[in-house]
């Protein structure tokens, strides 16, 4: 195994967080993976990974080598593609972190066109409702809803989406339509509760901002479950407009309290600062901006 192969192997170990997973992905035995990483550490004269019987962490030296290895591998892939195809054709794996339901509704349906246009690029979608550490988890790009204050990230705003309060026609017929945020006290709410903490519903109006602390019998940190609960008639939800855009368009749900909508929510593409964004990631970001621009749920930024 040459130096670049060993470097690729090290990158996959860090990204997967597991020697066994990296071994399975590369088709070699786990002892061989451990031996190659040990030889790499011996050649560099530094410990790259701390290994115990239950976990593996990246050392400071390992993190620096990992980031440098990513740049070198991307440059090598680009050079090979340039020679092999006679033109600059992006190639390699793009790892993108995003929320599961956002991926299902707006990213996966557009992927066939992207993959056809860039046959040498592969895409790995890392779906999670939690905020990932992009550097530690080897993420090229992440799609973020809302404001972001992390100064270690580069943010490119792609679009905005309204914040809507929605319910099914059957629920509204049975319980009545709220005419102001104060009327929500008489309604069941489907509560978004990340890390177990219910999130307040915020509104704007001619008399200034208003905050409602929702009450209801269902809490969840999962956007797909919020969709399912509202469509099942369990109550109202206060969500980004993209989450229910198809149902609002079809009439399966209705938006209420339109006169009290807060400021729209930003949809942004983020990546770590201090690292050159690979060509494969840049073209994926451009594709995503174009794809969202075609969706009526989003207003381009």
Angle CA 25–20–91, to nearest 5: 25
Residues of the chain with CATH 3.40.190.290: 163-263
This prediction has a pTM of 0.68
CATH code for the domain defined by 1-87: 1.10.10.10
127, 103 in Cβ contact below 8 A?
yes
Give the whole-angstrom CA distance, residue 20 versus residue 9.
12
pLDDT category at 77 given cuts 50, 70, 90 is: low
Give the whole-angstrom CA distance, residue 129 versus residue 99.
5
Give the pLDDT confidence score for residue 195 in this predicted structure: 82
Give the whole-angstrom CA distance, residue 16 versus residue 12.
6
What is the average per-residue pLDDT within 158-172?
96
The second-level CATH assignment, the architecture, of 90-155+271-301 is: 3-Layer(aba) Sandwich (3.40)
The second-level CATH assignment, the architecture, of 163-263 is: 3-Layer(aba) Sandwich (3.40)
Q: Which of 8-22, 71-85, 91-105, 152-166 has the lowest mean pLDDT?
A: 71-85
Q: How many other β-carbons are positioned within 10 Å of the β-carbon of residue 64?
A: 13
Question: CA 257, 263, 269, 270: dihedral to nearest 10 degrees?
Answer: -120
What is the average per-residue pLDDT within 202-228?
93
């Amino acid at each position: 195994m040459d130096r670049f192969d060993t470097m690729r192997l090290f990158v996959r170990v860090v990204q997967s967080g597991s020697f066994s997973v990296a071994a399975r992905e590369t088709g070699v035995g786990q002892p061989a993976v451990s031996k190659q990483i040990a030889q790499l550490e011996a050649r560099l004269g530094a410990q790259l990974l701390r290994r115990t019987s239950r976990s593996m962490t990246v050392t400071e030296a390992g993190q620096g080598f990992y980031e440098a290895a990513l740049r070198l591998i991307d440059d090598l892939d680009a050079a090979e593609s340039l020679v092999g195809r006679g033109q600059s054709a992006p190639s390699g794996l793009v790892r993108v972190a995003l929320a599961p339901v956002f991926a299902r509704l707006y990213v996966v349906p557009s992927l066939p066109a992207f993959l056809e246009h860039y046959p040498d690029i592969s895409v790995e979608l890392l779906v999670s409702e939690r905020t990932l550490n992009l550097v530690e988890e080897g993420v090229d790009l992440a799609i973020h809803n809302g404001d972001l204050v992390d100064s270690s990230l580069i943010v490119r705003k792609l679009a905005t989406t309204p914040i809507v309060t929605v319910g099914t026609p059957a629920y509204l017929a049975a319980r009545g339509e709220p005419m102001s945020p104060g009327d929500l006290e008489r309604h069941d709410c489907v509560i978004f509760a990340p890390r177990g903490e219910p999130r307040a519903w915020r509104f704007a109006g001619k008399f200034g901002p208003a905050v409602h602390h929702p009450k209801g019998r269902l809490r969840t940190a999962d956007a797909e479950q919020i969709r399912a609960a509202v469509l099942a008639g369990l109550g109202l939800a206060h969500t980004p407009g993209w989450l229910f855009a198809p149902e609002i368009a079809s009439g399966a749900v209705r938006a209420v309290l339109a006169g009290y909508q807060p400021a729209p929510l930003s949809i942004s593409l983020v990546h770590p600062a201090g690292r050159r964004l690979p060509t494969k990631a840049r073209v994926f970001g451009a594709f995503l901006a174009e794809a969202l621009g075609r969706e009526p749920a989003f207003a381009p930024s």
